[in-house]
């Protein structure tokens, strides 16, 4: 064999594959940036309704063009307890159908236009100042790369037709016998597991098939195996996750293995059905000027991929509940509760930035709920001179938890901001960062008030009736103020700033009034210095609470 031919072929196929994968990445990022809000709505629509879960899985995968990313995302959701195992299996079934959309994109015979599309889109990407145009350009850059990469792979495989050694090697990939069929399926699984992309693997098969390196029958057998190989990504992602997340990954593999197992015995019949479904015989060969072409083979492979996955979903769907129970037996619960993070954010979500943004908002709402509980516990402690150790310990513990929330949410948001996301998502991420910081500061102030109260108690000093009533009044006002702003976050109300400013001004007036009265009392009654200092510090802490809450309102209004 000519070494230069072999070298040229290797680098052309390798380069084409790399450009193809980069195109998939850019197209996915572009579509996510453009359709991010729709994706967030789709994810939130997942319920215990298995049909809805399948629909969501299909559309999400069709949008991001990667069943691997969808399955990894699902593993992350299950790991974070955001999705049940039954929901996850439904989404995975939908993703299996959604991933076939890529094959249909490749059926479009515009490979030669891939480079012009890439070039034109690249200019808009580089020079456009408009965010929407920028991300549309990224999308079309990805499409151009996909077609250009496929064209390079196709051209790279062409010399094989004139090399007897290679033809002899690929002749072994014949599904005419059960052994040959299994060899094809295993090879497809291995290739996909290595490159971690079933779409790229299908693109390689299409590149070989359209140049006649492998037959249509062998192509279909290879694609069957690729359906198993794509599950390796989720299996790797489940390492170090909770048991339930492992079940989701195992379920993905089992679904694919069952699919390949039931179709292998009827493979000859399956091949006979495909020409009827595709509208033409995929094995048709046309010779023009001594060159063989295969005009229908790409469509035939796309049909084979789609029909297999739809049929498998129809077959598995009635048994999802049974499969869930089987997975629980395969991966039984551990004797202790697993909680990888305090927040429900998971590193596997970083492939879908808009999901991280949506989930960070949910985690902020969890922080708000905890802070509400802190206000209630603090009121009980401040209202009584008797020690309530349980409430005291809970306040300190929850304040530590709020610190962890703030660190974990910030880590994820900072990683997300550095990704390719729209300006709107960047602004939202910055707002979430600021709110988590303010909420953490609120928990600190609540703990400071508790420490002041405990310091007085340990010294055998109690607040006077007037001071006690003043603190309780301020406390109630501050808690209501916090609930006003926290409700605005829940309702996504960015017009709260007017009410927030009015209420904040009234609380500031209360603070000045109570401070002035206390200063007058000092001159008249000469209280214990520790009592006076502690009381003033409590007032200052409540004033700081008001400021932090007002800051959150300003963030919601886009003023900070």
One-character DSSP codes across 209-269:
HHTTSS-HHHHHHHHHHHHHHTTHHHHHHTTTS-HHHHHHHHHHHHHHHHHHHHHSTTHHH
For CATH 1.20.58.220, the residue range(s) in the chain are 352-556
For the chain, the residue count is 560
One-character DSSP codes across 182-200:
HHHHHHHHHHHHHHT-HHH
Q: List, for the chain, all residue ranges whose pLDDT scores fall below the cut of 70.
A: 1-3, 5, 35-48, 65-66, 68-69, 80-82, 109-111, 160-173, 240-241, 289-290, 334-352, 354, 387, 419-421, 523, 560
Confidence at residue 39, expressed as pLDDT on a 0 to 100 scale: 65
Name all contacts of 396-403 with Cβ < 8 Å and 24+ positions apart: 396/447, 396/450, 398/370, 398/373, 398/374, 398/443, 399/374, 399/443, 399/444, 399/446, 399/447, 401/342, 401/370, 402/367, 402/370, 402/371, 402/439, 402/440, 402/443, 403/440, 403/443
Give the containing element (helix H, strand E) for 71.
Answer: helix 67-79
The DSSP code for 280 is S
Integer angstrom CA distances of residue 451 from 95, 184, 396, 402: 53, 70, 10, 17
Q: Which of 263, 257, 259, 268 is nearest to 175 (CA)?
A: 268
Confidence at residue 367, expressed as pLDDT on a 0 to 100 scale: 93
Render pLDDT for 109-140 as a digit per residue (tens, 0 to 9): 666 788 898 899 999 988 888 878 888 888 88
CATH classification for the domain delimited by 352-556, as one of 3.40.50.300, 1.20.1260.10, 2.30.42.10, 1.20.58.220: 1.20.58.220
Contact 147, 117 (CB under 8 A): yes
Q: At what angle do helices 178-195 and 198-210 cross, to 10 degrees?
A: 130
Spatial distance between the Cα atoms of 36 and 345, rounded to a whole number of angstroms: 18
List beta partners, residue 286.
Answer: 293
Contact 347, 386 (CB under 8 A): no
Q: Token pair for residue 429?
A: 């991420």
Q: Token pair for residue 68?
A: 């691997």
Spatial distance between the Cα atoms of 8 and 156, rounded to a whole number of angstroms: 7
The alpha helices in 331-464, defined as continuous H runs, are 353-383, 389-417, 423-458
Contact 45, 8 (CB under 8 A): no
Confidence at residue 530, expressed as pLDDT on a 0 to 100 scale: 85
Confidence at residue 338, expressed as pLDDT on a 0 to 100 scale: 47
Give the containing element (helix H, strand E) for 107.
Answer: helix 101-107
Q: Token pair for residue 201?
A: 């693997």
Confidence at residue 442, expressed as pLDDT on a 0 to 100 scale: 95
Q: Are strands 291-293 and 286-288 parallel, antiparallel or unpaired?
A: antiparallel
Q: Token pair for residue 521?
A: 């009392």
Render pLDDT for 418-436 as a digit per residue (tens, 0 to 9): 766 677 778 888 999 999 9
**321 CB burial (10 A radius; 0-12, 13-18, 19+):** exposed
Spatial distance between the Cα atoms of 457 and 98, rounded to a whole number of angstroms: 64
Confidence at residue 147, expressed as pLDDT on a 0 to 100 scale: 82
Spatial distance between the Cα atoms of 417 and 438, rounded to a whole number of angstroms: 19
Residue with tokens 């890529």: 102
Spatial distance between the Cα atoms of 304 and 306, rounded to a whole number of angstroms: 6
Spatial distance between the Cα atoms of 500 and 489, rounded to a whole number of angstroms: 13
* Coil vs helix vs strand at 288: strand
Name all contacts of 532-535 with Cβ < 8 Å and 24+ positions apart: 534/452, 534/453, 534/455, 534/456, 534/461, 535/463, 535/467, 535/471
183-219: string of b/e by CB count within 10 Å (b at 16+)? bbbebbbbbbbebbbbbbbbbbbbbbbbbbbbbbbbb
């Amino acid at each position: 064999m000519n070494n230069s031919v072999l070298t040229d072929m290797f680098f052309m196929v390798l380069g084409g594959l790399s450009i193809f994968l980069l195109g998939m990445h850019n197209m996915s990022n572009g579509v996510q940036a453009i359709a991010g809000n729709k994706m967030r709505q789709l994810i939130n629509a997942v319920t215990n309704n298995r049909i809805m879960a399948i629909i969501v899985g299909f559309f999400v995968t069709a949008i991001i063009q990667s069943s691997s990313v969808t399955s990894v995302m699902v593993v992350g959701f299950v790991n974070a307890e955001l999705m049940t195992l039954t929901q996850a299996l439904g989404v995975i079934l939908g993703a299996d159908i959604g991933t076939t959309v890529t094959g249909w994109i490749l059926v479009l015979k515009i490979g030669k236009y891939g480079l012009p599309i890439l070039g034109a889109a690249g200019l808009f990407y580089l020079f456009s100042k408009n965010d929407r145009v920028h991300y549309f350009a990224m999308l079309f850059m990805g499409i151009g790369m996909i077609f250009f990469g496929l064209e390079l792979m196709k051209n790279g495989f062409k010399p094989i037709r004139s090399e007897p050694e290679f033809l002899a090697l690929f002749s072994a990939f014949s599904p005419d016998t059960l052994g040959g069929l299994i060899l094809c399926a295993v090879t497809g699984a291995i290739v996909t597991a290595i490159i971690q992309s079933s779409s790229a693997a299908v693109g390689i098969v299409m590149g070989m098939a359209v140049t006649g390196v492998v037959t249509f029958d062998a192509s279909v057998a290879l694609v069957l195996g690729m359906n198993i190989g794509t599950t390796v990504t989720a299996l790797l992602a489940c390492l170090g996750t909770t048991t339930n997340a492992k079940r989701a990954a195992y379920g993905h593999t089992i679904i694919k293995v069952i699919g390949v197992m039931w179709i292998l015995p009827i493979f000859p019949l399956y091949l006979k059905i495909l020409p009827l479904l595709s509208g033409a015989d995929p094995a048709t060969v046309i010779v023009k000027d001594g060159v063989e072409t295969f005009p229908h083979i790409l469509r035939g492979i796309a049909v084979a991929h789609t029909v297999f996955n739809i049929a498998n979903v129809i077959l598995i769907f009635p048994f999802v509940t049974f499969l869930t129970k089987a997975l629980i037996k395969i991966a039984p619960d551990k004797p202790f509760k697993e909680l990888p993070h305090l927040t429900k954010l998971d590193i596997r979500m970083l492939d879908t930035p808009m999901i991280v943004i949506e989930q960070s908002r949910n985690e902020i709402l969890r922080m708000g709920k905890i802070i509400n509980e802190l206000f209630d516990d603090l009121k009980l402690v401040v209202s009584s001179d008797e020690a309530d150790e349980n409430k005291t310990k809970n306040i300190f513990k929850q304040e530590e938890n709020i610190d962890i929330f703030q660190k974990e949410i910030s880590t994820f948001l900072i990683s997300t901001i550095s990704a390719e996301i729209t300006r709107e998502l960047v602004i939202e991420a910055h707002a979430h960062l600021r709110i988590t910081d303010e909420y953490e500061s609120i928990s600190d102030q609540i703990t400071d008030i508790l420490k002041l109260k405990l310091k007085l108690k340990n010294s055998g000093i109690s607040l006077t009736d007037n001071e006690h009533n003043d603190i309780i009044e301020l406390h109630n006002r501050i808690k209501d103020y916090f609930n006003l702003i926290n409700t605005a976050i829940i309702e996504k109300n960015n017009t709260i700033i007017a009410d927030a400013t009015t209420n904040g001004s009234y609380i500031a007036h209360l603070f000045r009034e109570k401070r002035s009265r206390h200063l007058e009392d000092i001159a008249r009654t000469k209280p214990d210095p520790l009592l006076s200092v502690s009381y003033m510090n409590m007032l200052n802490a409540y004033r700081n609470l008001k400021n932090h809450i007002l800051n959150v309102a300003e963030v919601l209004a886009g003023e900070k």
